Amino acid sequence: MCAIAGLLFKHNQHTFNLTTGDALTLILDSTKHRGMDSCGWALYREPVNDTFRMRFFIPSGQSAEKETTRIHDTLTKHQVSILATEKLGCTLGIKAEFSGDLLDLTHAIEKELKPVSIGKQLDILKDVGKPFDVAPLYNIGAFNGTHGIAHNRLATESGVRPETAHPFWACGFSDIATVHNGQITNYWIMRRRLERKGMTFQTENDTELIAVYLAYQMSCELTLEEALKASLDDLDGTYSYLVATPDSIGYAKDKLAAKPMVKYENDEMIVISSEEVGINRLFPGQALETTEPAPLTYGLWSRTV
The mean pLDDT values, 10 residues at a time, for the chain of 305 residues are 94 88 97 94 90 94 90 96 95 95 89 92 96 97 94 82 91 90 95 92 89 92 94 95 95 92 95 96 93 94 85
Which residues are the active-site residues?
Answer: 2
Instruction: Give Cα 119 distance to the centre of its chain.
Output: 12
Whether residue 225 contacts residue 300, with contact meaning beta carbons closer than 8 Å, is answered with yes
pLDDT of residue 302: 92
pLDDT of residue 158: 67
pLDDT of residue 205: 87
pLDDT of residue 173: 87
Describe the strand order of the beta sheet including 269-273 as a list of residue ranges: 122-128, 38-44, 147-153, 3-9, 269-273, 262-265, 290-291
> What is the value of pTM for the model shown?
0.94
pLDDT of residue 170: 87
Asked, as a colleague might, if the bond just before 162 is cis with ω within 30 of 0, I would say: no
pLDDT of residue 61: 80
pLDDT of residue 1: 77
Full set of structural domains in the chain with CATH: 3-46+136-302 (3.60.20.10), 48-120 (3.30.70.1110)
pLDDT of residue 103: 87
Instruction: Give Cα 29 distance to the centre of its chain.
Output: 17
pLDDT of residue 305: 66
